[in-house]
Chains A and B, each alone.
Chain A
Amino acid sequence: MMMASMVANGNRDGRQGEALVLKGVDPETCMIVFKNHWAQVVKILEKHDPLRSNTSSNMAALGVIGLSSGGPMRFGGPIPGDEASAVQNYVEHILFLLMEEDAGQAGAMGPILEFVVMENVMERLFLWSLRRQFTDDMKLEQLKMYEMIVGQARQPLLHHKPVLRPLMMLLSSCSGTAGPEVEAELVSLLNQLCCVLAKDQSVLELFFHTSEDQGAANFLIFSLLIPFIHREGLVGQQARDALLLIMSLSAENQRVAQHIAENTYFCPVLATGLSGLYSSLPTKLEVPGEEWHCLHREDWLQMPTLVQFLNSLEFCNAVIQVAHPNIRDQLVSYIYNGFLVPVLAPALHKPTLEEVMTTTAYLDLFVRSVSEPVLLQTFLSFILLHPHRHTLPGNVHILDTLVSRIDTPFQLGTVSLALFQTLIGLYCEDVMLQLILRYLIPCNHMMLSQRRVVKERDFYSVSAAKILALTPSCCSPEHSPPPLRQLDSILWSKGTDNSPNTGTMETEETFLEEDGSCYSCVIGSEIYLDVNYLHYLYNARLGISSCTRACQVWSAPYDGEDPPPEEGRQAQTTTDPAPTNQLELEWDDSYDAGPVVSLEAATAESSRPPQLPAAEPPKHIQEMRRTAIMLVKGSYIEESDFQDDVMVYDLVAKKDARDTVTKGSKEVKAHVADHNSNLQSPSAEVGDDLMGQYEELIRTLGSDEAGTGGSSPVKTVDKEFRNPVVTPMEEDEVDFSSFSMDTPELEKPHSSLFGTKLRSGSTRSHSVPFTGPFVSVLLSRLENMLDNSLHVNLLLTGILAQLAAYPQPLLQSFLLNTNMVFQPSVRSLYQVLASLKNQIEQQASTKKDFPKLITSAQHCLLARENSRECSPLEAGRMMKSSPPPQPKTISLARTEVFATVLFTEFLKELAAIAQEHSILSHVPMEE
């Protein structure tokens, strides 16, 4: 009795007690007990068996004979309860003895296991459970039984087909229709099996072989896990963990990799699952405040749907990390074609600001969440190169659209800025190339004579001095009262040749007191140094060092010579074959007045060139769409071979239970066998082939069932195969028609809103200097610094500082070299800063209380700064996303005042970066 409750409840403590009892019992006694019990079991089994002799036949034979015996069963009626529980009790003892048996010498089977294998004990037990009502409880019991013996047996059991095969049957029969409890147990067992696989790859071969001669799945345990990929909670997590084990297995095992890539829907399910999960994300975020600009951890933890999406994304990331390259490549391809292009691209062009802003914030979060380079590359090439055709003839890349949105006066602008901060922070050559460098490579932006200056280094901090000289007079460090004025002095000592005690050491206080004469060699002791500036230098050093290190993987130095300027010009033409070549991507001002569909856009739409010749989506896309639909409904069924085995077993169980045996069963078996021989064919074919066979199967098997009115699982499944039932999704959710190559209808009327605008004339010849839309948009927003809110300015200056830290001479010289002479039409950072200084001086001279306001703002920002824990990297900057500061005497609405303070700090930041560049970028990397 103890045993009975033990198995039923999966209670392992019960076993411990028994184990003690068993200790010391010699193996022969165990064997005798085992045989006795089994004999009892067999007695009952045979009593209810259609064929009384069959002890050594395998399941397949049993099934065929059993089904083909024809006519009404000679024995019949339900199995009496006392007999069932008697079997139950014996079985538990038997299994227990099996588990406790040690392996024989040199890894041979122990006698009990040998007996189990010879007598086909497990298969017969499984059949027995089928013959009774194969309810969820029964399945649960069987699953737990296997979980226990697999997990706790002292000798490997799975190597033996008579053990493995019934296990596979059980697994098959549990898939699909089971309740949540069975599912949980199933996944748990599958997870356990995967752990066994990961440890002992020799079992893997058996898993495949067993499948083959059973006509079951090539790799059933894998297929069974797929439907749980996107599941929430523990079940999903266990399934994903198990799948990951198989993924890492695939990296070394070509066969596994090939099977997964060619015969399963693993990759499409994963990728389209992202689409499905994405569609349940809120289309509009409720943002906490104007200052908000990106989804932080604490934000998305509050959103279960987003958490679920990120879990799946993280899983994709992990799969890509460990899986075989074939699987990896297939998966990224599906993510690109099944999620990014059909789902995210339209979402980025939704009709309302809030929706677009939300999508942008999601995209930013996704890019930040992905770590595996290949997956990151997939996202980046989507952003950089995916052409979104809508308002304009020619290609407008997602990137162009995103850049143009920086200039929106709304939160969309800030969120877009935050996305670019993320992108620039990746130190990715491709991103920087598309965003800025390709415009700088031709060196058109500078006077011809200046090309040699690009690589020159600023030995004497001339640029830093010029930048700092823009410090507004009202903010000069000497003017600030303590504690804002973090001024201190550094005694500057000079080495002299005749005195050994030259250096004036700050810490040698006693020495200083004693001997005043040493001051003769102190220079500038009264010069106050802005200590705060040291922080900026330190940060600049860190920033530039890590950026320089990161950029070592880049293909070229971008120093004005490599890549050669001429090639850059060519590149510009080849990148943009359309006349959009030099698109001036500027924000349409009419936008401020509200949504206006521009005529220009409308005409562009109507005269849109014909779509690419892809009239029919590629086959894999079609397939994927189908799978996705099923997946979204939570009724994923893989159209792979194992599925019909599940059906067969199910039918066997049902029919057996109802004592009906159909004539066609032999043919069915034949069909299944036939089918197996086709296994090697590509999955697409198998799919079609399968349907035919499948229908035939239904016809032959299900015909007389129709009369009984029983609901066959096959019917249900069949219905789902042919008419995927999907509840209509809400309007603004992703509809799967977007899987087609066409742009969804919905987008068309609105898309111009967020599009790009051609400047009249529409083309710029190469000779007209242009530093690119991104730089142009950034600088134009910076120009409005005095009107920008604090957080916008923090983002803007943050991004510019990020860019300035890049070591590429082209970028460095453009942003930081104040001696560089640019073409008259090119606006430089320095020019913008100088004009800002003038504006500030003007404000300061006209407003009496300006200095006071500055002081309050400084206090306010200092308090804000102190209220947060600063990581060393952030130490010098007043950083983003802190709670809104408590203004003491000044309202944040005085943007010009805050901007002035920030401007001053930004100058220091830039100057520090320029100074560090002058030494760091030229030192060979060592240590």
Chain B
Amino acid sequence: TYLNDFWEKGRSDGEEQSGEQQQPRASPARPSFGKKQLPSIPKNAVPITKPASPAAMAQLANGTHASYGPFYLEYSLLAEFTLVIKQKLPGIYVQPSYKSALMWFGVIFIRHGLYQDGVFKFTVYIPDNYPDGECPRVVFDIPVFHPLVDPVSGELDVRRAFTKWRRNHNHIWQVLMYARTVFYKINTMEPLNPEAAVLYDKDVQLFKSKVVDSVKLCNSHLFDQPKMDDPYAISFSSWNPAIHDEAKERMFTHKRRPEDHQKGLQVSGLSWVKPGSTQPFSRDDNPPLS
């Protein structure tokens, strides 16, 4: 996926777990299942019991088999992710974590306004009873100085925009969109960071300089190791021509048109239908048969 072209993933080779190749993950770069044998559960893990999650229970109540519940969740999140890709949100990139479909890593680039040049890494946490639970949470790695961002935890107040998470109406891309908007349109109502809110309303110059400091701080930590130890965590490194030039090259020459890729593939469909027609063999270039 193109995400992988943008960043070198925080994949540390020492942690490549071969056994996990078989596990379905919420990653778009999911490898094929291969022989599709799941690793067996560790023996001592079995006795540990925990009540089934509300999600599973709910699905059971719907009359479906619990066995498939996780698949539904997995695919729901995959569907959300494909929607995000489709939206092509400006300056926002996300990547589901390797370990869980419920946790996505993201980064947002602010291109103008008060927060211009800010590069903020964040994590999206999706409730496990998705889509029937609360709205997903967005937590910045470093608490950005912003009225709606908790100065301690770094969590963005998303809930004010999605008071009730409604399936089919609300999607994760909207949350991401919201996370971007707050940096362009400052709202100081019921702030998580009262200091920022007050400054913005009373002394915008000081607010601005605090923002500049905050942006500087965030950007100075850009090349830090990812907060989360996950192969798919987003990590930045300074430009290294040996690695990045080639990737950049590939990005710019990347053919978007699928036809270019499909040439020479054996599987290809057939059509002699003229566009706009619903008659078979209506195209003009059909050889005459009689």
Q: Which residue from B41, B128, B280 sits with its C-beta under 8 Å from A381?
A: B280
Interface string of B254-267 (1 = CB under 8 A from A): 00101101100101
Q: Are B17 and A507 in contact (CB under 8 A)?
A: yes
- What distance in Å separates the Cβ of A886 from its nearest Cβ neighbour in chain B? 26
In A509-552, the 8 Å CB interface with B consists of 509, 512-513, 516, 519, 522-531, 533-535, 537-538, 546-547, 549-552
B102 within 8 A of A: yes
Q: Are A563 and B68 in contact (CB under 8 A)?
A: no
- What distance in Å separates the Cβ of B109 from its nearest Cβ neighbour in chain A? 22
- Closest B residue to A572 by beta carbon equals B278
Q: Are B103 and A919 in contact (CB under 8 A)?
A: no
Q: Which residue from A431, A460, A492 sits with its C-beta under 8 Å from B76?
A: A460
In B28-77, the 8 Å CB interface with A consists of 32-33, 36-42, 44-45, 48-50, 52-53, 55-56, 59, 62-73, 75-76
- Closest B residue to A574 by beta carbon equals B279
Interface stretch of the complex, out of A63-71, A251-259, A331-339: A331-339
Given contacts A497-B123, A497-B125, A923-B85, contact A555 B271 (CB under 8 A): yes
Q: Are A529 and B70 in contact (CB under 8 A)?
A: yes
Interface stretch of the complex, out of A358-366, A372-380, A665-673: A372-380
Q: Are A527 and B287 in contact (CB under 8 A)?
A: no
Q: Are A459 and B41 in contact (CB under 8 A)?
A: no
Given contacts A468-B68, A493-B100, A534-B24, contact A915 B75 (CB under 8 A): yes
- Closest A residue to B39 by beta carbon equals A506
A605 to B101, CA, bound (A): 66
- What distance in Å separates the Cβ of B2 from its nearest Cβ neighbour in chain A? 7
Q: Are B131 and A502 in contact (CB under 8 A)?
A: no
Q: Are B48 and A555 in contact (CB under 8 A)?
A: no
B82 within 8 A of A: yes
A554 to B282, CA, bound (A): 13
Residues of A within 8 A of B70 (CB): 490, 492, 524, 527, 529
Residues of B within 8 A of A333 (CB): 287-290
Q: Are B69 and A524 in contact (CB under 8 A)?
A: yes
Residues of B within 8 A of A923 (CB): 82, 85-86
Q: Which residue from A491, A516, A534 sits with its C-beta under 8 Å from B41?
A: A491
A506 to B286, CA, bound (A): 57
A430 to B137, CA, bound (A): 49
Interface string of A322-337 (1 = CB under 8 A from B): 0001001100110011
Residues of A within 8 A of B33 (CB): 534-535, 537-538
A918 within 8 A of B: yes
Interface string of B199-223 (1 = CB under 8 A from A): 0000000000000000000000000
Residues of B within 8 A of A875 (CB): 36
Q: Are B40 and A488 in contact (CB under 8 A)?
A: yes
A62 within 8 A of B: no
Interface string of A447-476 (1 = CB under 8 A from B): 000000000010111001110110100001
- Closest B residue to A508 by beta carbon equals B17
Residues of B within 8 A of A429 (CB): 269-273, 280
* 18 extra A-B contacts, CB within 8 A, seeds A522-B48, A537-B24: A428-B269, A460-B168, A476-B65, A488-B41, A494-B128, A495-B97, A502-B228, A506-B39, A507-B18, A507-B19, A507-B20, A513-B42, A523-B56, A527-B66, A534-B33, A915-B72, A919-B78, A924-B85
Residues of B within 8 A of A494 (CB): 100, 102-103, 128
Given contacts A513-B42, A919-B75, contact A538 B32 (CB under 8 A): yes
Q: Are A524 and B65 in contact (CB under 8 A)?
A: no
Among A333, A464, A524, the one with the most B-chain Cβ atoms within 10 Å of its Cβ is: A524
- What distance in Å separates the Cβ of A656 from its nearest Cβ neighbour in chain B? 49
Q: Are B56 and A549 in contact (CB under 8 A)?
A: no
A427 to B268, CA, bound (A): 7
B274 within 8 A of A: yes
Q: Are A919 and B228 in contact (CB under 8 A)?
A: no
- Closest A residue to B53 by beta carbon equals A523
A433 within 8 A of B: yes
Given contacts A468-B64, A523-B128, A555-B275, contact A534 B36 (CB under 8 A): yes
A524 to B272, CA, bound (A): 51
A384 within 8 A of B: yes
A459 to B41, CA, bound (A): 30
A478 to B99, CA, bound (A): 27
Q: In the complex, how many residue pairs between chain A and chain B have their CB atoms under 8 Å apart? A: 306
B80 within 8 A of A: yes
Given contacts A385-B281, A468-B65, A492-B70, contact A505 B20 (CB under 8 A): yes
B79 within 8 A of A: yes
Residues of A within 8 A of B267 (CB): 427, 546, 549-550
> What are 25 A-B pairs at a CB distance below 8 A?
A332-B287, A427-B268, A430-B272, A459-B167, A459-B171, A465-B68, A466-B64, A488-B38, A488-B41, A490-B70, A492-B70, A495-B103, A497-B139, A506-B38, A506-B42, A523-B53, A523-B55, A523-B56, A524-B50, A531-B37, A537-B24, A552-B259, A555-B275, A926-B256, A927-B1
A460 to B271, CA, bound (A): 33
B195 within 8 A of A: no
B190 within 8 A of A: no
A177 within 8 A of B: no
Q: Are A523 and B50 in contact (CB under 8 A)?
A: yes
Q: Are B269 and A495 in contact (CB under 8 A)?
A: no
A553 to B259, CA, bound (A): 9
- Closest B residue to A477 by beta carbon equals B67
A489 within 8 A of B: yes
Give the interface size bracket for B toward A: 35 or more
- What distance in Å separates the Cβ of B273 from its nearest Cβ neighbour in chain A? 4
Q: Which residue from A377, A438, A519 sits with its C-beta under 8 Å from B278?
A: A438
B89 within 8 A of A: no
Q: Are B40 and A571 in contact (CB under 8 A)?
A: no
- Closest A residue to B271 by beta carbon equals A429
- What distance in Å separates the Cβ of A184 from its nearest Cβ neighbour in chain B? 36
Q: Are B99 and A502 in contact (CB under 8 A)?
A: yes
Q: Are B50 and A373 in contact (CB under 8 A)?
A: no
Residues of B within 8 A of A469 (CB): 62-65
A575 within 8 A of B: yes
Residues of A within 8 A of B163 (CB): none
Residues of B within 8 A of A526 (CB): 49-50, 52
A505 to B231, CA, bound (A): 12
Q: Are A571 and B278 in contact (CB under 8 A)?
A: yes
Q: Are B39 and A922 in contact (CB under 8 A)?
A: no
Q: Which residue from A426, A441, A574 sits with its C-beta under 8 Å from B270?
A: A426
Residues of B within 8 A of A476 (CB): 65
Given contacts A430-B280, A438-B278, A506-B41, contact A926 B68 (CB under 8 A): no
Q: Are B71 and A554 in contact (CB under 8 A)?
A: no
Q: Which residue from B17, B32, B227, B270 sits with its C-beta under 8 Å from A553?
A: B270
A427 to B271, CA, bound (A): 8
Q: Are B39 and A461 in contact (CB under 8 A)?
A: no
B229 within 8 A of A: yes
- What distance in Å separates the Cβ of A462 from its nearest Cβ neighbour in chain B? 8
Interface string of B78-108 (1 = CB under 8 A from A): 1110110110000000000111101100000
A919 to B81, CA, bound (A): 9
